[in-house]
Amino acid sequence: MSKQEKNNPILDNRSSRRTFIKNSGLTVGGLVLGGALGTLVGGKTETTSHTKTSGATHTAIDYSDTRQFFVRQKDFDALSTAAELIYPEDEHGPGAITLGAPYFIDKQLASPWGISTDDYRKGPFQPGEVPLDKAEIMLQGVRKLNEVSEKEHEGTVFKDLTEEQQIAILTSFQAGEVEMDLVNSAAFFALLRTLTLQGCFSDPLYGGNKNMAGWKMKEFPGAQMSYTSYLEEEEFVLIEPISLGGHKHS
């Protein structure tokens, strides 16, 4: 926890934050303005745990469901809905939302990767080339999901459509049929799909694949150090996964 947070009791837990919001006059027509504060109305509770270290009590807050990149709740909702359509929860196991993929995507877009720092970005950009970075593509894309949804379905946002309607819209993006600015909607869809799968199956250290549930569903053993004991096994061997966090050395 940062020094600032320690010194500011208002930020310590959810209920006192609500008081803070109420008192600060930041709400307009029931909407909360502001980036980090927006997460409070997203319906997710931040989990807190208390640990006792050398006599002093600290409150450790889990920030994994706090957003760094997406400011508007509506944008994040569209992202989450689309990610869940790509990898839905069903009888086989958790989907993108339960696995934390939307928060994974949020963190990736806030990282240097989101602004394409490792890519060649010099012009001129020729027809067919995308001059936007990944964060710009994704932000425009999720807003476009809502825009198309509201236009085609009398003002209803993407997350509130029926699944059938949602799939129809996402399919039109995949087919490159939706007009977007400086990028083809198929390229946005491809990026969204890639990021969703990464959010379901990357090491949990990046905020997705929560509790390694993606790996458990896929029966993937994770960051094991050796398989020499199983080389000649004819039958499938199910191994409990470990993450890179499990590699920690003291």
* Residue 63 contacts another protein per CB under 8 A: no
Q: Rule CB under 8 A: say whether 37 interacts with another protein.
A: no
24, 33, 88, 240: which one contacts another protein (CB under 8 A)? 88
CB 176 to another protein: min, Å: 14
- The reply to whether 250 sits near another protein by the rule CB under 8 A is no
Q: Is 56 left (phi over 0), alpha (psi -120 to 50) or beta?
A: beta
Question: Which of 228, 230, 224 is closest to 246 using CA atoms?
Answer: 224
Distance spanning both ends of the chain, measured CA to CA = 21
**Total number of residues that touch another protein (CB under 8 A):** 55
Closest CA to 63 of 47, 84, 87: 47
Q: Among 49, 92, 164, 181, which residue interacts with another protein (rule: CB under 8 A)?
A: 92
Q: Alpha helices, DSSP H only, in the chain?
A: 3-6, 14-24, 35-38, 73-86, 101-110, 134-152, 163-174, 185-201, 213-218
Q: Give, as ranges, the residues between 134 and 193 that touch another protein (CB under 8 A).
A: 167, 174, 193
- Tell me which residues touch another protein (CB under 8 A): 85-88, 90, 92-93, 95, 113, 117-122, 124, 126, 128-129, 167, 174, 193, 196-198, 201-203, 205-206, 214-215, 217-228, 230-237, 239, 244, 247
